[in-house]
Amino acid sequence: MANVDKKTLEEQIKIQGEIVRKLKAEKADKDKVTEEVNKLLELKKQHGDNGPKKFVLKTPKGTRDFTPEQMAIREGVFDKIISCFKRHGAETIDTPVFELKETLTGKYGEDSKLIYDLADQGGELLSLRYDLTVPFARYLAMNKVSNIKRYHIAKVYRRDNPAMNRGRFREFYQCDFDIAGQYDPMLPDAECIKIVVEILSSLDIGDFVIKVNHRKLLDGMFAVCGVPDDKFRAICSTVDKLDKTFWDDVRDEMINEKGLDSEAADMIGEYVQFKGGLDLVNELLKDKNLTTKKNAVEALEEIKLLLTYCEAYNVSDKVCFDMSLARGLDYYTGVIYEAVLTAHSHQASASGEENVGVGSVAGGGRYDGLVGMFDSKGKKVPCVGVSIGIERLFSIMEAKALAAAKKVRTTETEVYVIAAQKGMVEERLKLCNALWDADVKTEQSYKKNTKMLSEFQYCEQNGIPLAAIIGQSEIETGVVKLKIIGSREERDVPRSDIVQEIRNMLASLKIGKESTSGN
């Protein structure tokens, strides 16, 4: 019945479409055209309601599926990052993908317009999380947690203009490590930097540098340069653009858009050129202007201590005190840092990913006020943390895999079970069962009868190292034929020894692989 209706309707739409086209071609009376167009729209609407749906086969704008190949690369990156977090004794927590809308309100400044809201279907007003830091602060305040070292890897959502080919998505992973608690200066901060070095070094993505600065030093510098108090944040965001654009443009913006006088701008221009290590800090501690500002001196003392700890952690060569580093977010109150790939600077500058800047693959800092915003008594929990720019790292790893033109294995299958003759399905199932029960990663065809040759080809294509073959003669003699796919070497093994023999073969293949790959 529905089918007949639909056909008639489709024909009607076709005819009505012809009418509209004819009228338009004739440049007929406008009202007449509108009338017939409305009829057409009405028919189309009916069709949409009654007929089978025609699906637009796509994922929402700015989002994507992950294929098994992409997931295998992700898993590799996650494993390395998580094992670093665990090496440093971190716990993990999880929070819901959406929060009460008011939990997110007033935390992201101008960017709040990028927050995804849920429809009001009755009940609470909800929004998708925009980052992991605000939910973390809400978690600490709500559960009265005053110290924790935790990591959280989860997806966040931003209604930003997606640039998918440059790695900017509306749904993307964040990977955060934070230390909350009232501790002695710079000890947690230095560990965050050490963690960034460990993670980036483990990923083999080339050279990098971690820029370090301090929000209070920026504030002191602005005061010294004559920036009015109420322009600190605005001028700070302008300075933040220094890693993406030239000083002249930044100066222009300060003067023409933010209304700063040119003397102040030029003085800032002097300071933001400073980059260095302990020597620079010691020099600035003698700067007759900066030293008039208490917060600037405090900040310099903290940076000095941080750099000393970085030396003990043997990461000094990766760390650079850089007075041009500002970072976008409002909530930072102390040390800030950002890791930048030095080898990828060109590739990265084309991408312009926000939050972690250009070429930036990790960033963070100290935010001692955020948790207090959620506490009814304003009780503060000092926090410092780092966010690993994991989507950027994925992109780099994917590009590397592509360039290597090496097939990414998406399964870990060790043995493929093959029957030598037809009619041996149950024997195959029994052998698979024995191997699974012994925790050997095993697959077989879901076809009842298979051709040996194509089965071997399947193993080759999918990087499965071993085949276990059973035929009538093997069953009669109580053996299984084990074949090494790579070398075509094969050997009959008694059923009782099969698991042990597979383990030995896998171990020798692994050792062989390692010694030939030159590691």
Q: For a copy of itself, give the closer residue by CB, 326 or 467.
A: 467
- In DSSP notation, 33-61 reads HHHHHHHHHHHHHHHHHHSPPPP---PPT
Scanning the structure block, which residue is given the tokens 């990414």?
408
Closest distance to a copy of itself from the beta carbon of 108 (Å): 14
Closest distance to a copy of itself from the beta carbon of 126 (Å): 5
Closest distance to a copy of itself from the beta carbon of 506 (Å): 14
Closest distance to a copy of itself from the beta carbon of 484 (Å): 18
CA distance 367 to 325: 16
Closest distance to a copy of itself from the beta carbon of 200 (Å): 14
Q: What's CA 304's distance to the chain center, in Å? A: 32
Closest distance to a copy of itself from the beta carbon of 30 (Å): 29
Q: Please state, in angstroms and as integers, the Cα–Cα distance from residue 62 to each residue in 167, 172, 347, 452, following that order.
A: 10, 9, 21, 45
Rama region for 64: left / alpha / beta (φ>0; ψ in -120 to 50; rest): beta
Q: For a copy of itself, give the closer residue by CB, 149 or 251.
A: 149
Q: For a copy of itself, give the closer residue by CB, 297 or 310.
A: 310
CA distance 37 to 40: 5
CA distance 96 to 180: 20
**Sheet containing 208-214, strands listed edge to edge, beginning at the edge strand earlier in sequence:** 91-92, 148-157, 171-180, 383-388, 360-366, 335-341, 208-214, 319-322, 275-276
Do 116 and 155 meet the contact criterion of CB atoms below 8 Å apart?
Answer: no
Closest distance to a copy of itself from the beta carbon of 113 (Å): 9
Closest distance to a copy of itself from the beta carbon of 469 (Å): 17
Q: For a copy of itself, give the closer residue by CB, 198 or 253.
A: 198
Give Cβ neighbours of residue 240 (< 8 Å, ≥ 6 apart).
326, 327, 328, 357
Helices 187-202 and 68-87: crossing angle, nearest 10°? 140
Q: For a copy of itself, give the closer residue by CB, 68 or 259.
A: 68
Q: For a copy of itself, give the closer residue by CB, 106 or 518.
A: 106
The pair of structure tokens assigned to 437 is 């029960």
Q: For a copy of itself, give the closer residue by CB, 234 or 434.
A: 434
Q: For a copy of itself, give the closer residue by CB, 147 or 355.
A: 147
